[in-house]
């Protein structure tokens, strides 16, 4: 189920590429603010329906980790996509994002206190190659390549910076806090750069596209993705980012685009091979792979049999013994 959750989340993200095209010319900061605000509202309502307390207030350094998730994976990432598209073809930015599995395969286990697995690193290389074939190679100038590098780092930060807070907050808590912080950040940017009246310039297409981004790509995909990261570990979960370009190609055909060329089909097959290599459960640990540490059990540190405890004698019994001794 963890693999299905991660793949579904990435499929929604891949599908957002075609949907985002409808937002060309819209006040982007305002749209993003409304998107994350709606997503936060939906997640909060869902959290209230759960019996357990699933959203808690961040404390201490957790604010910094969550702010890092928002700054890299949402604020700077969206700016990098907009600025990068002015200097590079979309395929260049897509290939940069496709390289994320390799970074997660190495940095993820180190951040989680484990040793990177050679098999997962090899699988990440295969997935990256396949995703690059699906995306294709585009043209870019130096500035475009710089923004592609920023996009790559921000996409990795969205996952890696959430790892330290997933244990206490869980996928739902991280999603709730990151969305309200993103809504506030984009809201301030839209207020100063686009003006308070920007929301009145939204067309019906903008609203429909924003609703899809808020519900599927944010509220649903965030929880699915962080659930996958928490259960599989960031290294193996990172392989599933290869699903995004495949989903983008499929959605492009569904909305009337041309059928993919032969290199795209080859890339899809290569991505599938990389996923099969990295996500299968090995019968042995000869590659040095270590599973993610299991969540602590409430009674883990309690021994099966407790040592006998010498109970103190009652006060009345002690006084009777003292009288008998003196007699």
Q: Which residues make Cβ contacts (< 8 Å) with residue 307, sequence separation at least 6?
A: none
pLDDT digits over 221-246, tens only? 999 999 999 888 888 988 888 888 78
User: For position 238, what pLDDT does the model report?
Assistant: 87
User: Block means of pLDDT (10 residues each) for the chain, length 327 residues?
Assistant: 86 74 78 93 90 80 95 88 74 76 88 86 89 74 84 89 91 94 94 89 87 90 91 88 79 70 83 86 47 48 44 43 44
User: For position 52, what pLDDT does the model report?
Assistant: 61
CB 43 within 8 A of CB 176: yes
Please calculate the CA angle 146-147-150 and round it to the nearest 5 degrees.
95
User: For position 315, what pLDDT does the model report?
Assistant: 42
Q: Which residues make Cβ contacts (< 8 Å) with residue 29, sequence separation at least 6?
A: 186, 189, 190, 193, 194, 198
User: For position 33, what pLDDT does the model report?
Assistant: 93
User: For position 41, what pLDDT does the model report?
Assistant: 94
pLDDT digits over 201-223, tens only? 888 888 888 898 899 989 999 99
In the block, residue with structure tokens 């570990």: 233
């Amino acid at each position: 189920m963890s693999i299905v959750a991660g793949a579904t989340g990435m499929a929604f993200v891949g599908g957002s590429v075609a949907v985002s095209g409808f937002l060309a010319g819209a006040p982007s900061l305002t749209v993003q603010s409304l998107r994350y605000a709606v997503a936060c509202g939906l997640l909060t309502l869902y959290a209230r329906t759960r019996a357990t307390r699933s959203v808690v207030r961040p404390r201490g350094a957790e604010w910094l980790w969550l702010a890092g998730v928002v700054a890299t994976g949402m604020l700077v990432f969206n700016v990098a996509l907009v600025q990068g598209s002015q200097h590079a073809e979309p395929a260049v930015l897509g290939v940069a994002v496709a390289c994320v599995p390799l970074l997660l395969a190495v940095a993820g286990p180190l951040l989680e206190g484990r040793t990177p697995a050679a098999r997962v690193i090899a699988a990440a290389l295969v997935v990256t190659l396949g995703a690059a074939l699906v995306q294709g190679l585009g043209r870019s100038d130096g500035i475009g390549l710089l923004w592609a590098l920023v996009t790559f780092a921000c996409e990795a930060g969205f996952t890696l910076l959430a790892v330290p807070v997933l244990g206490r907050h869980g996928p739902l808590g991280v999603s709730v806090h990151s969305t309200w912080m993103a809504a506030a950040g984009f809201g301030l940017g839209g207020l100063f750069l686009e003006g308070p009246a920007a929301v009145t310039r939204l067309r019906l297409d903008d609203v429909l596209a924003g609703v899809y981004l808020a519900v599927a790509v944010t509220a649903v995909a965030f929880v699915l993705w962080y659930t996958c990261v928490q259960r599989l570990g960031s290294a193996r979960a990172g392989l599933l980012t290869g699903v995004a370009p495949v989903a983008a190609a499929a959605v492009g055909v569904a909305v009337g685009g041309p059928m993919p060329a032969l290199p795209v089909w080859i890339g899809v097959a290569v991505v599938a091979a990389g996923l099969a290599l990295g996500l299968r459960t090995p019968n042995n640990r000869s590659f040095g792979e270590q599973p993610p540490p299991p969540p602590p059990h409430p009674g883990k540190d309690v021994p099966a049999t407790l040592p006998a405890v010498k109970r103190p004698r009652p006060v009345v019994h002690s006084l009777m013994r003292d009288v008998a001794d003196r007699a």
